[in-house]
Structure 1
Amino acid sequence: MNGVTCSDQTPSFEKTWGSSTSSGYCSEEDSDSDFEQYFTARTSFFRKPKKEDEVIDSKKQELSLSEIQQKVKEYNAQIHSNLFMCLNKDGTYTGFIKVHLKLVRPVSVPPLRKGAASQESANGKRSGVIKRRTSFYLPKDTAKHLHISSQTRAKEVIQALLKKFTVIDNPAKFALFERTERHEQVYLRKLSDDECPLYLRLSAGPNEKVLSLVLKENETGDVNWDAFSMPELQNFLRILKREEEEHVKQIVQRYALARDRFQEALAGSNPG
């Protein structure tokens, strides 16, 4: 994937998994269904875009070879670690980008495997793979360093991140964003699939306050339902129905309590 590699500068997947179990994760291990169920008290599939979600246009000019050489030199002079950029003879360059994962919904990982004793079923077919997904929420402030080249595209960065965390969701569900701050306002610009994140990093310099890269769900207010499988859509309906029932229950209880108080007030004002 164009030489995309992951740096060990950030926690491993095992650490991420361990810390995620307290983030609302729930998996139906005994279910006969082939899809996962995850629960949250406040699920919002129809989030309204915040101000920081505003997409802005940003057309950047291509750099000449001499400009790239100068930019790489200036960039490396500001680095206080080993995450330098390296210029190749053909004018391409390699370096590190840091991607912050700001995901609202849970992600899915491959099904678990049983022991060797249960790997063969009665009909002779393998049964070691449980036909279910396990879903969990990535912890807040999860980030990953990737070593990429100037020719690595945004969609390849997304694929590399999902592979690193063994996420099996459709890459089309996610998008890479450029986060910038101007005049005390935060803006997000969605990168096109063929845009090169390392070029953006080099142009902006290493300061993440000037520019940072964020992985988010691929939406701008409207949900791309075509990116979800039928089991996932059915699961969303179950969650929405459960939340609707809970909301109705709360309303009924509130009005029942108000009715009881009115009746008590009436009884107190008419002692005879």
Structure 2
Amino acid sequence: MTNVASSSDKSPSFEMTWGSSTSSGYCSDEDSDSEFEQYFTARTSFFPQIRKPNANVKQDEQIESGKPELTTTDIQQKVKEYNAQINSNLFMNMNKDGSYTGFIKVQFKLVRPVSVPSPKKGGHDGGRRGSKVKRRTSFYLPKDASKHLHISSRTSAREVIEALLKKFTVVDNPGKFALFERSERHDQVYVRKLSDDERPLCLRLCTGPNEKVLSFVLKENETGEVNWHAFSMPELKNFLRILQREEEEHIKQIVQRYALARTKMQDALAGSTPG
């Protein structure tokens, strides 16, 4: 039984907030013998580029939000104080069993494309091959995309990720993603990765509704090394194709550079007088 709750039933309630109407990448819609997925990246490599560290951002900083043990009376008081600070209808509500429900806003900061099932097409060919071929479309989510989720105080970070992927019909492994908390203090930005069993709504309640004090961000689950076991076979094959193209292009550039240097040296030798 899932812990994602809404005010009327046990299915999650979502509110979409988009900063732009189009994605920042491209889609593919081709066939193969089994399962096909093709990425069209706008980068020279699918490996993350080396970035200069931002002095104002501290990764994996332990934010002192803590996990205080709250009594039912404490929770009721905090819910009352929380609701008094917001100017919208995104209130928190207490339940009879001591749990509570409310909204969290999750921002998307994904640098890689996500995969969704390709729309089904009519026709005899689609009906004949539909049972054998799994088709996917990959695209980049807008960088300024965000979503409000109505969850329970018992909803874990892992369940939040799964609910987001389900809402977007993303078929990627949930293990590829992680939920982070972000805060601003003393002109510094602190980012911390939430563990799978942490309760985002509890953090939201304890810190209040101010997004600068605490906000949630969905990012790739970076562990320092690429977890190749988390990718499907079509993804791995596609990565190999990209690597091969990059290798061929890199070799071509090196050959051209050495050929140019050789030509310049030969011209210099031809124009020089014997000493």
Could you say whether these structures have the same fold, taking a TM-score greater than 0.5 normalized by the shorter chain as the test? yes
Distance 1:250 1:185 in 2: 42
Among 30, 34, 43, the residue aligned to 2:45: 43
TM-score w.r.t. length of structure 2: 0.82
Deviations 1:153-180 (A, max 9, x none): 1111011100111101111111111112
Partner of 2:177: 174
Contact 1:118–1:128, Cα closer than 8 Å, also in 2 = no
Matching residue of 2:12: 5
**1:148 and 1:257, CA in 2 relative to 1: closer, same or farther beyond 3 A?**
same
Residue 165 (str. 1) matches residue 168 (str. 2):
yes
Residue type at the aligned position of 1:54: Q
Contact kept in structure 2, 1:99 and 1:145, CA below 8 Å: yes
1:69 pairs with 2:70:
no
Distance in 2, Cα, partners of 1:265 & 1:100: 59
Give the corresponding residue for 2:59.
54
In structure 2, the residue matched to 1:138 is 141
Distance 1:131 1:199, change over 3 A: same
Distance 1:53 1:131 in 2: 41
* Shift in CA distance, 77/221, structure 1 to aligned 2, threshold 3 Å: same
Alpha-carbon offset, residue 129 of structure 1: 7.3
Amino acid paired to 2:246: E
Q: CA deviation at 1:44?
A: 4.3
Q: Tell me if the contact between 2:106 and 2:148 (Cα under 8 Å) persists in the aligned partners.
A: yes
**Aligned pair in 2 of structure 1 residues 266, 70: CA closer, same or farther (>3 Å)?**
farther
* Partner residue in 2 for 1:105: 112
Letter of the 2:35 partner, please give it.
D
Contact 2:36 2:135 in 1 (8 A): yes
Q: CA deviation at 1:145?
A: 0.6
**How far apart, CA to CA, are the structure 2 residues paired with 1:237 and 1:44?**
11
Percent identity between the two aligned chains: 68
Q: When the two structures are aligned, how many residues end up with a matched partner? A: 261
Deviation of 1:31 after TM superposition, in Å, equals: 4.8
Structure 1's unaligned 5+ residue stretches are none
Please list, as runs of the form range in 1=range in 2, the aligned pairs for 1:67-216 lying within 5 A after superposition: 67-115=74-122, 117-118=124-125, 120-121=127-128, 127=130, 130-216=133-219
Cα–Cα, structure 1 residues 42 and 78, in superposed 2: closer, same or farther, change >3 Å? farther
Q: CA deviation at 1:219?
A: 1.7
Q: Which amino acid aligns with 1:174?
A: F
Q: Which residue identity does 1:141 align to in structure 2?
A: D
In the alignment, residue 37 of structure 1 is paired with which amino acid? Q
Whether contact under 8 Å (2:28, 2:39) holds in the other structure is yes
Q: Secondary structure at the match of 2:15?
A: coil
Q: Shift of the alpha carbon at 1:100?
A: 0.8
Shift of residue 197, structure 1, vs aligned partner? 0.4
Q: Which moved more, 1:254-263 or 1:182-191?
A: 254-263
Which blocks of at least 5 consecutive residues in structure 2 are unaligned?
6-10
The answer on whether the counterparts of 2:102 and 2:151 sit within 8 Å (CA) in structure 1 is: yes
Give CA-to-partner distance per residue, 1:109-168, whole Å, 9 cap, x none.
0133121544543xxxx6377422211111111111100011111111011100111101
Q: 2:16–2:146: 8 Å Cα contact kept in structure 1?
A: no
Whole-angstrom CA distance in 2 between matches of 1:42 and 1:78: 46
Look up the equivalent residue of 1:257 and give its one-letter code: L
* TM-score between both structures, scaled by the size of structure 1: 0.83
CA contact (8 A) 2:34 2:133 kept: no
* Contact 2:30/2:36, CA 8 A, preserved across alignment: no
